[in-house]
Structure 1
């Protein structure tokens, strides 16, 4: 039986600090090797909230906990006419370069890699927590940024 590696891959050519480490340590130096040299457990723990986020349920909508604000929700509810799916889509909308510093230095293809990875992890978490709900995951790029969001396409009004 063949073992096949299935993954998204970043473009490490644009990861300048990683390239310096790789040059110093040889071609076999991997991103895992890099992580073990430069990362700390405290930062890894913090990243779990980005990669495996908490959610809040409000009026039948599901929202990123860190991005949810009741006052902002009410403003969008008024503007979007109680359309919960549209409110979810706009309130869960996250720009990668707003979340993490230095996004402009790694190249748009790496931002897309990160955005696609986030949407896969968020989708998995949402399915685990809300197995009877259906979510639409979106990862879009333009010339300078990547945006991720999610919403429930078929949701009843509160």
Structure 2
């Protein structure tokens, strides 16, 4: 038997660890037990929009629908000096801290970075499915200059118009 993990094990989950500690018998408890007891299916469905977003195709570029407007495109295109790949990189950037409100103020930075990596994994899959003729880079970074973990996507190689 060989075990194949899709994503690395999740670590540093304060809510899960606190929940698990309340039980006298913890050996049979796992993430699925937590989901069963604490999570709502409608939340999971809503979160799927982060992992499998809608896209807008404009001027040969591929953009996250949540970030796209004609005005934003024009502004980013100007900042990128007409480079479409750089325009995609700018316009598709998502700062993960900005996705969550005050309810996440006690969540460690490591959780946000892990989440960015999982989102990146999902974006790579959906981009291959929806745009098999294009080649993308999905980039996750974590720097003080960018206000914590962020993620973006952009085309690499020759752009197909």
CA shift for structure 1 position 142: 2.3
Question: Which of 50-59 and 107-116 deviates more?
Answer: 107-116
2:150 to 135, 144, 147: 147
Is residue 4 of structure 1 aligned with residue 7 of structure 2? no
CA shift for structure 1 position 132: 0.7
Is residue 20 of structure 1 aligned with residue 23 of structure 2? no
- Quick one: distance in 1 between partners of 2:134 and 2:159? 12
- Quick one: distance in 2 between partners of 1:78 and 1:145? 25
CA shift for structure 1 position 117: 0.6
Is residue 107 of structure 1 aligned with residue 108 of structure 2? yes
8 Å contact kept, 2:96–2:149: yes
Name the TM-score, length of structure 2 as normaliser: 0.87
CA shift for structure 1 position 21: 1.3
Deviations 1:96-151 (A, max 9, x none): 11112344533222222111110010010000000010001101112562111110
CA shift for structure 1 position 157: 8.7
CA shift for structure 1 position 35: 1.4
CA shift for structure 1 position 38: 1.6
8 Å contact kept, 1:82–1:157: no
Report the 3-state secondary structure (helix = DSSP H, G, I; strand = E; otherwise coil) of the residue aligned with 2:66: helix
More helix by share: 1
CA shift for structure 1 position 24: 1.7
Runs of at least 5 residues in structure 2 that lack an aligned partner in the other structure:
none
Number of residue equivalences? 155
Runs of at least 5 residues in structure 1 that lack an aligned partner in the other structure:
none
Name the TM-score, length of structure 1 as normaliser: 0.88
- Quick one: distance in 2 between partners of 1:5 and 1:81? 44
| RMSD (Å), alpha carbons | 1.9
Flag the 1:157–1:72 CA change in 2: closer, same or farther, 3 A. farther
| 1:123 corresponding residue in structure 2 | 124
CA shift for structure 1 position 155: 4.2
CA shift for structure 1 position 95: 1.0
Deviations 1:29-61 (A, max 9, x none): 222211121211221111111111111101000
Q: How does 1:62-141 map to 2 (within 5 A)?
A: 62-101=62-101, 102-141=103-142
8 Å contact kept, 1:137–1:150: yes
